[in-house]
């Protein structure tokens, strides 16, 4: 068996298809930020950085758990031969409800929020609501596709989303558009068009089935939303905390976003098998395949650690030079900054793997507890009197380490209990 065949066998089913789409979507992040960084003024880029961070914090924090729960329920129904249309309807209603909970306060407090985060521009609050709408709808369809095992269509949606971001942001840069709202609007248009283009396989796979109870969908959702919001807060807080602590540090805010995106290159690759990992773990749990469950988890952990180390070395060596050259970001960060951010990213990816293991094994509550512990550590380190950039970078790493440590202890305890019972 060749090396490529062994790697393919070790990865969860569907990784290649999702990986192709994730690669395009990941590349789109760099193109979008680079186009904006070379086109917008520093203060506008700082506003765009904050908007980007909020979308990837609140948006993923609220709607990715909906995708995960839909994936889990659809995968279980598929194993039992049951239809998934009721899950799709319930999931869409739930996602729209969560969207309303966010967009209503955005509308009511649009100007105060604009004054704090967007240099007084309320149009960016509108752009924020639009971007969240795109995610709310897209994640529901992705959950159905992943649960059905239709990873080719899932990957296609990701690829279309990324391709549209590349084309649209590139066109804005070439045309010399200096509107931050225009660059922000790409975050709304791209996911909605990509979702619309991949609705057909969702409809074909959503055949009628037994009634889907709200209880089945909501049982762990609150815990998952709490965990994911705290996770996204941890991974993105450096940009927001810098903006809040020092409102005049626009250069550092813009540079930190670009540096975080560079340091998180492994996270984009990790996303290639994170979705198929959840579907695989859910199916193994539904089938009672304990051996297969453990084997899949061990492989995912090993691959994740390797990705983190490889990406970290590249970020430390190349990152400082790439910030101004590729992203047009202020040249204010060095190799040490990238080392801290890369270490935090590696630990964060490990928490994602361990968190999925806790969720699929019925320990979603302990997953939330771990993220609460990590958030406490994050806040404590951020409040220290260290230099601003040092404390926000160290807080990211220390918080991720605390979460990973807690999750590891919980999983070891659960494995020991299962071994005693068997």
pLDDT of residue 267: 73
- CA proximity to 38, closest of 239, 189, 176, 166: 176
- CA proximity to 46, closest of 117, 127, 109: 117
As for how many domains the chain has, the answer is 1
Q: What is the mean pLDDT of each run of 10 residues along the chain (422 residues)?
A: 40 64 84 89 85 85 87 81 82 92 93 88 94 94 88 91 95 93 96 94 79 72 81 75 65 74 73 64 69 78 84 86 78 84 90 82 82 92 83 89 91 64 50
The structure tokens listed for 281 are: 């773990």
Domain that holds residue 102: 3-421
The structure tokens listed for 149 are: 């095992």
**Alpha carbon distance, N-terminus to C-terminus of the chain:** 35
Q: How far apart are CA 185 and CA 200, in angstroms?
A: 25
pLDDT of residue 374: 92
Burial (0-12, 13-18, 19+ Cβ within 10 Å), 238: buried
119-128 own/partner pairs: CB under 8 Å, 24+ apart: 119/43, 119/44, 119/46, 119/47, 121/47, 121/180, 121/181, 123/181, 124/47, 124/51, 124/180, 124/181, 124/184, 127/51, 127/181, 127/184, 127/185, 127/187, 127/188, 128/51, 128/54, 128/55, 128/184
Backbone phi, psi, residue 387, to 5°? -55, 145
The structure tokens listed for 28 are: 């789109």
Q: How far apart are CA 243 and CA 317, in angstroms?
A: 27
- CA proximity to 184, closest of 21, 57, 44, 27: 44
pLDDT of residue 5: 44
The structure tokens listed for 154 are: 């899932």
- CA proximity to 363, closest of 276, 274, 284, 285: 285
Q: How far apart are CA 316 and CA 252, in angstroms?
A: 18
pLDDT of residue 245: 67
Cβ of 200: how many Cβ atoms within 10 Å? 10
Sequence-ordered alpha helix ranges (H) in 246-264: 250-263
Task: List Cβ neighbours of 406 (8 Å cut-off, separation of 6 or more).
Answer: 366, 369, 370, 373, 374
Q: How far apart are CA 418 and CA 292, in angstroms?
A: 15
pLDDT of residue 15: 60
**3 state SS of 83:** coil
Contact 203, 185 (CB under 8 A): no
pLDDT of residue 320: 85
pLDDT of residue 9: 45
Size (the chain), residues: 422
Distances (CA, A) of 381 to 110, 334, 339, 343, 388: 31, 21, 17, 16, 11
């Amino acid at each position: 068996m060749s090396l490529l065949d062994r790697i393919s066998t070790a990865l969860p089913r569907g990784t290649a298809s999702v990986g192709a789409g994730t690669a395009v979507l990941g590349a789109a992040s760099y193109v979008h930020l680079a186009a904006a960084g070379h086109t917008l003024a520093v203060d506008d880029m700082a506003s765009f950085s904050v908007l980007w961070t909020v979308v990837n914090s609140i948006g993923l924090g609220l709607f990715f758990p909906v995708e995960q729960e839909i994936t889990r329920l659809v995968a279980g129904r598929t194993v039992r031969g049951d239809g998934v249309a009721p899950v799709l309807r319930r999931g869409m209603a739930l996602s729209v409800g969560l969207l309303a909970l966010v967009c209503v306060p955005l509308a009511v407090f649009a100007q105060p929020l604009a004054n704090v985060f967007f240099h007084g521009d309320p149009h960016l609050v509108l752009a924020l609501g639009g971007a969240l709408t795109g995610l709310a709808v897209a994640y529901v369809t992705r959950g159905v596709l992943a649960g059905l095992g239709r990873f080719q269509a899932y990957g296609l949606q990701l690829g279309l989303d990324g391709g549209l971001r590349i084309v649209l942001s590139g066109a804005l840069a070439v045309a010399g558009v200096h509107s931050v709202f225009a660059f922000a609007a790409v975050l709304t248009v791209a996911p909605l068009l990509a979702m619309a283009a991949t609705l057909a396989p969702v409809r074909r796979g959503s055949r009628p089935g037994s009634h889907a109870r709200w209880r089945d969908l909501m049982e762990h959702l609150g815990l998952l939303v709490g965990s994911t919001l705290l996770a996204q807060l941890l991974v993105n807080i450096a940009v927001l905390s810098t903006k809040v602590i020092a409102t005049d540090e626009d250069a550092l805010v813009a540079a930190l976003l670009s540096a975080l995106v560079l340091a998180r290159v492994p996270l984009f690759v990790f996303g290639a098998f994170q979705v198929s990992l959840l579907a695989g773990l859910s199916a193994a749990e539904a089938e009672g395949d304990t051996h297969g469950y453990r084997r899949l988890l061990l492989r995912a952990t090993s691959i994740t650690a390797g990705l983190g180390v490889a990406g970290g070395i590249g970020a430390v060596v190349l990152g400082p030079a790439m910030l101004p050259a590729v992203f047009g970001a202020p040249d204010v960060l060095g190799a040490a900054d990238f080392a801290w951010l890369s270490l935090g990213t590696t630990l964060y990816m490990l928490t994602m793997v361990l968190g999925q293991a806790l969720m699929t094994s019925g320990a979603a509550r302990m997953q939330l507890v771990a993220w609460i512990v990590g958030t406490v550590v994050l806040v404590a380190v951020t409040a220290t009197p260290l230099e601003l950039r040092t404390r926000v970078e160290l807080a990211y790493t220390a918080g991720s380490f605390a979460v990973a440590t807690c999750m590891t202890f919980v999983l070891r305890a659960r494995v020991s209990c299962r071994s005693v019972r068997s």
